[in-house]
Structure 1
Amino acid sequence: MTPIRVLIQAHDPIKAVGVAAMLRSTGQIEIVTKREQESADVLLVIDEHARIARLAQVRQWRESGVTGSMSRCVLVTDRFDKEDLLFAVQCGVMSILPGKNCTGGRLALAVIGTVRGHSLLPRGLQLELVRQIDILRRDVLEPNSLTLSRLDLRELNIIRLLADGFSSAEIASKLSWSEGQVKKVLTEAMRRLGLATRPHAVAYALRSGALA
């Protein structure tokens, strides 16, 4: 099994050494140096107070190639402002762990889970993230006919009807459009999202959560 390569950034060098030793002991994680940072799979940031400037630095590291462009961040901190949660996600943070009593096992679980696309957040931050996403959907996206799935409301309405088994002609009738309009909107959405067929478009909408 290829080890997960982790770059550690911490204000306290002694703490960084201790965390590195804990992660190495799992046998699944390799700690990389600054000279090897471009090969990092995960950026592990350890900071007593994760301010917005620190989050912006994480984003800058990823965008400038300091770490691999596909790398994700695990943040270990005792103080995190919940108002910064969406910004943290935009910066590549996938897991946030309280620094106090954070065990090596839990830290390794977060690192390994991050590579697999999983996230660890305290329950309070989970609820806050849901709240902020709902506000974004209600106040920003929907007034502009947009959705979180990258499908606009017109496209989503068509795909919803496709999923219910309706033909293009039947969808046009239900939406009071021409059949040509239906086909044009659907074709443009499929091209933009790289979807090959109509069943593929339905599957995309289901996977993204746009269709319940």
Structure 2
Amino acid sequence: MKIIICDDQAIIRDGLELLLRLDREIEVVGKAGDGAAALELVERHRPDLVLMDLKMPGMNGVEATRRLRDRFHGTKVLILTTFDDDEWLFDVLRAGADGYLLKDTPRADVIKAVKGTVAGKTFMDPTVAGRVLQQAMGSPAAPSSFITERISDREVEVLRLLAAGLSNRDIAQQLHLSEGTVRNYVSAIIAQLGVSDRTQAAILAVRHGLVA
């Protein structure tokens, strides 16, 4: 799999390259110091994934992720940053990031996350994932047409509760449904939204306005 590293600090870029090269399945095809340079490398190499920092001079990671999503649909974006404040987190998830790690993530977990994200899984730092769920439990927001065109109003209710971290049993109790019915709803939501698990569903809820 082909990877591009985007970070404004050369020592971080070089360290990540050395780390990723320990895995024979990973090929680092380019390194960039800002978002604009990363987009040029993506245009040239069409990588499977960009390992993206957030705060960088010039084009930051949020804007780079947004533009990458618009132009290169086959390339995943995994955020690796020191910043875990809500503004950066939710902005980049809405921009289309596929996962969010902090730079204190153990080295083996970074490699696992890179390979897993390329395979379609979602990796998020536990504290970050917890805040996504807390946000999902806040005031309801109006979902975008991407959501409403794909799932029913009842499925939107289920998705909102799913994103809040509720189990099928808890959702069933809250909506006065059987657990089997909720299980069917969840399976339909995952299939119709093109995601593979509950974490991806929660991220999609943030990205498309279901979470305030």
TM over 0.5: yes
Measured after TM superposition, the shift of residue 103 of structure 1 is 3.5
Question: After superposition, where does 1:79-94 map in structure 2 within 5 Å?
Answer: 79-94=83-98
Cα 1:62–1:139 change in 2 (3 A) is closer
Q: CA–CA distance in 1 between the matches of 2:77 and 2:103?
A: 15
Q: Structure 1 43/145 Cα, relative in aligned 2: closer, same or farther at 3 Å?
A: closer
By relative contact order (CA 8 Å, sep 6+), the higher-ranking structure is: 2
Say whether the 8 Å CA contact 1:146–1:152 is kept in structure 2: no
Do the aligned residues in 1 keep the contact of 2:151 with 2:189 (CA within 8 Å)? no
What is the aligned partner in structure 2 of residue 208 from structure 1? 189
* Mapping for residues 45-60 of structure 1, pairs under 5 Å: 45-47=52-54, 53-60=60-67
Which residue number corresponds to residue 9 of structure 1? Answer: 6
Count, aligned residues: 155
CA contact (8 A) 2:54 2:60 kept: no
Distance in 2 (CA, whole Å) between partners of 1:46 and 1:156 is 32
Q: Match for residue 37 of structure 1? A: 42
CA contact (8 A) 1:94 1:114 kept: yes
Aligned equivalent of 1:109, options 108, 112, 120: 112
Percent of residue pairs identical:
21
Larger radius of gyration: 1
Give the deviation of 1:23 after TM superposition: 0.4
Unaligned runs of 5+ residues in structure 1 are 158-201
Distance in 1 of aligned mates of 2:138 and 2:61: 25
Give the match's secondary structure for 1:124: helix
Aligned match of 1:178: none
CA distance in 1, matches of 2:63, 2:41: 22
Distance 2:126 2:149 in 1: 24
CA contact (8 A) 1:145 1:152 kept: no
Of 57, 77, 80 in structure 2, the residue corresponding to residue 76 of structure 1 is 80
TM-score, normalization: structure 2? 0.58
Secondary structure of the equivalent of 1:7? strand
Change in CA separation of 1:156 and 1:107 when aligned onto 2, cut-off 3 Å: closer
- For 1:164, the equivalent position in structure 2 comes to none
Aligned match of 1:22 in 19, 23, 28? Answer: 19
Q: What is the aligned-residue RMSD (CA, Å)?
A: 3.7
**Structure 1 residues 94 and 146, CA gap change in structure 2 (3 angstroms):** closer
Structure 2, gaps ≥5 residues long: 31-37, 158-182, 192-212
Q: Shift of the alpha carbon at 1:58?
A: 1.9
Task: Tell me which residue corresponds to 2:127.
Answer: 124
Distance in 1 separating the partners of 2:156 and 2:78? 34
CA gap of 1:156–1:46, structure 2 versus 1, over 3 A, is closer
TM-aligned CA deviation for residue 82 of structure 1: 1.7
Aligned mates of 1:155, 1:15 — CA distance in 2: 43
Match for 1:153: what amino acid? Answer: D
